[in-house]
Structure 1
Amino acid sequence: MVLEGLKVVDFSAYIAGPGAAGILADWGAEVIKVERPGGDAMRHVFQDLANPLGSNPTFDVDNRGKRGVVLDITKPEGREALAKLAAEADVFLTNVRPVSLKRYGLDDATLRAANPRLVYAVITGYGLEGPEAHLPGFDVTAFWARSGLGYMTAPKGAEPFLRTSGVGDHATSLATVSGILAALYERNRTGQGRLVQTSLLVSGVYLMSSDMAVQLKLGRVASGRPRENPINAIANYYQSSDGRWFVHNPRGASGGWEAFVTAAGRADLITDDRFASGKARRQNARDLVVELDKGFRALPFDEIARRLDAADLVWAPFQTPGDVASDAQAIAAGAFVEIDDGQGGTYRSPAAPVRFPGADADHRPAAPRLGEHTRQVLAELGYDEARIEAMLAAGAAG
């Protein structure tokens, strides 16, 4: 595996930090997940889905293949053990608030003074500088709402809507992995590690950077449009006679206009004066949606798919998660990986979104139980059995 030999200490919770460390683990890094007493809060999500080992699919996707340790950093022995782990690591990854890390001597400056080669990656809601850098931030707040991404997703005038969590977290996971790998590349040249920082806010701004670039340059940006009133009626969602939706994304200015309306069974629209030019089609977009709806809603989905593919148009079905789970192309593309269930079997989970042909793992170990490897990891750090037992008794380890 491509990152074999890389040692990572994952002192993070929830999704963005564990997700970044989870990708590194999927690629072969040795990742030690350090949790506080009581464990990562994500362990307790969907407890009705928990398997007999005490984990759940939401937790497993970000923590599979790691080793698990419990340390209490409020106790000197716990802090010392975590610092020892960092002293032997290549990467220290955390989303604990910087003020707490500094208070306990686990900040970037302290840990990199002891291990100058350490790449220290910190994830926050709002960054490390600025008047509100200290504020807590989650996916839906810092990434979705404050970045402007949520506003740009809803049609103009629509009320804000709730969405599932984890999208911004996992986008930030990818950004964090990119930063860590860049810092490791730099370390190969200089011999020195560095601080790497990512935030949910900046990840959100970057993901809408095509629109944000227009805002910054021109001072305004087009709002989202409802389906019935698009800017371009052939860049839109349509529904089949059997109730399935699909989306078409045209190429270039005309975007296969004639091929698309022909696929809808509405070749007559090509000679309709309302739609005779690109400008006319934009001016009469509402009418064109109505006409195309009539065409596509008279056709079954399989026939629409056949016609669109035959015309080499760019389109895709609008799928539910259940649809994606059985999508043959998603499976072939490597969207899923098998995880050990701890009982001799496996189950499917989303795979990290990069493949290394010839070096991909077709399955991954289970996520660790809370504190499953505490004794083992402490012994590897040089702690003898008596000292380990004393730490456990004192609550410094668990």
Structure 2
Amino acid sequence: MKPLEGIRVLEVAMYGFVPSAGAVLADWGADVVKVEHAVTGDPQRGLRRTGTFEVHGDPNPHVAHANRGKRSLGLDIAVPQGREVLYELARDADVFLTSFLPASRTRLGIDVDDIRAVNPAIVYARGTALGPRGPEHGKGGYDMTAFWARAGTAASITPPGTDGMISPPGPAYGDTISGTNLAGGIAAALLRRERTGESAVVDVSLLGSGLWALGHSVGLSLHLGRGWEGVAPSAHGSPTNPLSGLYRTADDRYLSFVMLQPAKFWANVCECLGRPDVAGDPRFATAESLAAHTADAVKFLREVIATRSLTEWSERFAALDGPWAPVQDTLGAAADAQVRANGYIARAGDLELVASPVQYDVEDTLLGPAPEFAAQTEEILTELGYDWDRILALKASGAVT
């Protein structure tokens, strides 16, 4: 049994951030009803192109990543009939999840007091760009603005003198991280309600999540009075440790070594390289001599590692005890045997998607497919006890799809 089976979530949200929280809750077993505008649906469904990547037809990974395992209800909550349906759903829900801005929540009658009026016990969760307080609490934003740029990551990884800034590594990067934070906050609020009977209002913002992700750097900056600075990319990391840095392979890929006790692992590395003779070289025999002759050790490692491909070295270094990793692209990471062995990639309908990172009882997270737009509208209304005459009347009024 999944930990949130029996929990009902009513999601009124768009794009990537808050819907990704709903996806995590669905991964954990919750029944998540995604409310989409009766005509236009979630605008995320229209996202087909990101950089050089373009999706034709369905299924669309942009939609599926943040919406797998949910049911979709096409509902216009701007009209009274649609809002009444929403309130009826809220009466039996455990969680109300929204990304709408304060002004829109008030206008549509879905703010905390509105939803609590029909269900005082509901956990009310909202994801915002900049937090629920302060002079800009009513403003919107995206992960690029609030998480990446404003919270410090962009400046912290962009080398000085660069024209522009380094962009996020992929679409919805900050959204997905922030959504997982929001899902965790909701789970804790449900536990509090179970223990005390008190229902919480849960807030997570892109700005706060961005700061949290960069927490070590921000803490050091505050302590030392210096903003964290980006550094130019380099092939090696430490002037006194040859086993901390990057090494280029024959196919212009990289191995990453992070062995903070190099003397402990030097002989093992030489064995994997097929050069056990170098392990006894007096220059590399002790921690002190290895630190003193780091340049020589780096030169040796570069020359040897440049003779074979990343795949070949990955096979050889499987026997290495020290921490290392192949520097993989997204396809390489998805095909990684360790990733597959742990079920970190899972089937969701016709797609393979990344599973949310929390597992229970050492079992794979099972994903459901993302719903087609409004696909479960009639099913959900029937569960509310609506007969077909009432459903058809709602359709005729435009309140539901």
Q: What TM-score does the superposition give when structure 2 sets the normalisation length?
A: 0.86
Contact 2:152 2:211 in 1 (8 A): yes
Task: Work out whether 1:227 is the aligned partner of 2:263.
Answer: no
Contact 1:238 1:245 in 2 (8 A): yes
Show the counterpart of 1:32.
33
SS at match of 2:19: helix
Show the counterpart of 2:249.
240
Contact 2:68 2:368 in 1 (8 A): yes
SS at match of 2:244: coil
* In 2, Cα distance between equivalents of 1:386 and 1:120: 32
Which one of 384, 387, 398 corresponds to residue 395 of structure 1? 398
CA apart distance, 1:221: 5.4
SS at match of 2:339: helix
Show the counterpart of 1:340.
349
Show the counterpart of 2:211.
205
Show the counterpart of 2:18.
17
Question: Superposition pairs for residues 274-353 of structure 1, below 5 Å?
Answer: 292-301=301-310, 304-305=313-314, 308-341=317-350, 347-353=351-357
SS at match of 1:236: strand
Q: 1:222 to 1:377 in 2, by over 3 A?
A: closer
Contact 2:160 2:230 in 1 (8 A): yes
Contact 2:236 2:246 in 1 (8 A): no
Aligned residues between the structures: 386
CA RMSD of aligned residues (A): 2.9
* In 2, Cα distance between equivalents of 1:270 and 1:115: 75
CA apart distance, 1:354: 1.8
Question: Superposition pairs for residues 243-262 of structure 1, below 5 Å?
Answer: 243-251=252-260, 256=265
Amino acid corresponding to residue 334 of structure 1 in structure 2: G
Of the structure 1 ranges 353-362 and 101-110, higher mean CA displacement relative to structure 2 is found in 353-362
Task: Work out whether 1:148 is the aligned partner of 2:149.
Answer: no
* In 1, Cα distance between equivalents of 2:307 and 2:270: 13
* In 2, Cα distance between equivalents of 1:269 and 1:98: 68
Amino acid corresponding to residue 124 of structure 1 in structure 2: T
Contact 1:261 1:269 in 2 (8 A): no
CA apart distance, 1:130: 1.1
Which one of 199, 204, 208 corresponds to residue 193 of structure 1? 199
* In 2, Cα distance between equivalents of 1:386 and 1:303: 67
Show the counterpart of 2:73.
69
Show the counterpart of 1:383.
386
Show the counterpart of 2:84.
80
* In 2, Cα distance between equivalents of 1:270 and 1:112: 74
CA apart distance, 1:302: 5.1
The CA deviation string for residues 275-331 of structure 1, in whole angstroms up to 9 with x for no partner, is 9568757xx87x875564334223444554456444411001111112123222111
Amino acid corresponding to residue 202 of structure 1 in structure 2: G
CA apart distance, 1:13: 1.0
Q: 1:352 to 1:108 in 2, by over 3 A?
A: same
Show the counterpart of 2:103.
99
Q: 1:383 to 1:300 in 2, by over 3 A?
A: closer
CA apart distance, 1:230: 3.7
Contact 1:11 1:95 in 2 (8 A): yes
Q: 1:255 to 1:179 in 2, by over 3 A?
A: farther
Q: 1:224 to 1:259 in 2, by over 3 A?
A: farther
Structure 1 residue ranges without an equivalent (≥5): 342-346
Task: Work out whether 1:161 is the aligned partner of 2:162.
Answer: no
Contact 1:261 1:270 in 2 (8 A): no
Amino acid corresponding to residue 255 of structure 2 in structure 1: F
Amino acid corresponding to residue 188 of structure 1 in structure 2: E
Task: Work out whether 1:372 is the aligned partner of 2:375.
Answer: yes
CA apart distance, 1:137: 1.0
Show the counterpart of 2:283.
271
Contact 1:92 1:118 in 2 (8 A): yes
Contact 1:258 1:270 in 2 (8 A): no
Q: 1:219 to 1:279 in 2, by over 3 A?
A: farther
Once the two structures are aligned, what percentage of the paired residues are identical? 36
Amino acid corresponding to residue 325 of structure 2 in structure 1: A
Q: 1:208 to 1:386 in 2, by over 3 A?
A: same
* In 2, Cα distance between equivalents of 1:68 and 1:198: 24
Q: 1:92 to 1:269 in 2, by over 3 A?
A: farther
Amino acid corresponding to residue 243 of structure 1 in structure 2: D
* In 2, Cα distance between equivalents of 1:243 and 1:61: 31
Show the counterpart of 1:344.
none
Of the structure 1 ranges 22-31 and 374-383, higher mean CA displacement relative to structure 2 is found in 374-383
Which one of 220, 224, 229 corresponds to residue 214 of structure 1? 220
Amino acid corresponding to residue 227 of structure 1 in structure 2: S
Q: What TM-score does the superposition give when structure 1 sets the normalisation length?
A: 0.87
Contact 1:64 1:367 in 2 (8 A): yes
The CA deviation string for residues 65-107 of structure 1, in whole angstroms up to 9 with x for no partner, is 2111011122111122112211210011111112210222211
